[in-house]
Structure 1
């Protein structure tokens, strides 16, 4: 390889490719945002579904599919490279909005969300790993902040746009045309302009002998044995429990107060908007002040936000609660990914990120179960209160078990 094409680490020297991957990840987030404010209402109004547990099936299926895809994305990207996995993920996304537009039954919606989960697992995991590859160790928190900010700002913007389209043109097909456009554009960018980054990971790991760890060892370390990695996985699961629960519960809770589709779209955009934009600052700040304080405080702030949502009964209170919940998530989300990058060896990075995202995205399944079962038994408010308690317990566990990882660099 010539000197002009040899990989170099750092955000500045890789600015063009890094920025392209930020854009691609924004489109990944937009695929979720197209449906978040719309599907719970579609289930009730077009398919006549009333049981909360049954309505939330699509969230559970999405989460399980994403969990499995995360594992394969990490393992296969370490073996075959990052770019091929990214392209496959976008090919799988293409039929999703079409299925949602044409769905004659709820089964089609569930099947579309299975494909969406695979798409999210392959594409989001891969863009995370590629950005860690490019950034190198010094600015890992900033890199993850930019990545997650793009993804969840796009979730927020697309949720808002989908809500407006639904209010003006109906629940179908207009909101899902956004997702179709996103998938086509992202596939083209990934095929033509995205470059492979596995060489950057090899460069970072060249001075350190990789530990002799099998895929089973990596799974056990990230799941149970290594304190920082396994605590990050547990905190990530609780974080996405909150996200999955909010995805199913919040639109129905807001609709119970006779809010319009437009108002529901605004409220649903607040949470990921604060979450997304906040990560522009929290990821970089964790490079300076360490990871653990942001994760501990972030889980506690999420609990506070959920308490405000559960206690409130109108637009203003729900908007405040959603904003606080988003702020807590912004403190946690890029920082947890930075912890995985801090502790794992570059040669095993894809697998470590994949295992972390397996546990984190099991939170969607947990959120669907907690939200659906508790809501059916005790009401929508009770489901939100239960998530508040779980988040508070997670903050205590992080404080007691996780050690600071950034100092290791």
Structure 2
């Protein structure tokens, strides 16, 4: 940028500056990859985020508060179960879901996580594996935000290895009795419904459990360094009794929860780009205003290199996400391809947020600026729905044909 251009951007309004920086950062013209309908939906979500979420999210993060009051409005706007075509659900495309995820996480990963847990995991499990009666009973109310759901898979001793699940469900007449513990379960303390995965004599099965069922207890995990504008819990299931009608009839084995996890992982590859974009824009805007040695630091070579690297990585990540979304909408997406986006985009996004913080200098650790908050959140995002290591091994097995999850032991 020429010095005069810097001054022009610096003198514009905040909204004008954001548009200008965003336009300049679209180095490959990727906006043209999306249809008018897709962009209109994205802009609608963006407006909601800018008005209802962004001004308050730093305070929610500081106070470890999830804005439950927004849930109904998000449902009314069609933001819950965005990509599901079951009764009462919005039925939008995977690409539209991805664009919405990007906008929600540009404010905070905790908000995007709510959309993911509600729509991809809890609603997704019922959509993919539920009976027609279960779909009709639960999904419309969940899509409207009248009922909040959670998804109980991860356990204290079974994170990356769900095959070691210890929660069990046993038959007792016409009922099932579920016992065990789940950990890091989003929304569990405010949810009315929990999709619980448990081991049975016939393998892993899923159950829709009302959270007011005797024996169901959700305890909020706190304090946390990340995802503070979200809720994660430990669930205890002490002889929780549910009728057979609570069982998800289509879910057999670990393919049941993994299908839902893949939907959530797909949303993550888009969402993390929102955190990266917001961090880039914050750093670039700051660099245009901050003067040292008689010039804006945006004019320094090292700062420009940092900004260039960030913009390039965001553009590459968006190409990965858009291509993956098109494959998903066409019904041609391989789960291995989801691992590509989840691993690469999350890894790049956290690096972008950290680098953006360096441009802010000491001010970067202030809650006034978003990059450090995004970086903290991404430490959790890179861990849940499959760690970096798990997705690396998924891709390694694909490339070599040799699964390395259970290497042979010596002796």
Higher strand share: 2
More contact order relative to length (CA 8 Å, sep ≥ 6): 1
Bigger helix share: 1
Structure of greater Rg: 2
Q: TM-score, normalised by structure 1?
A: 0.29
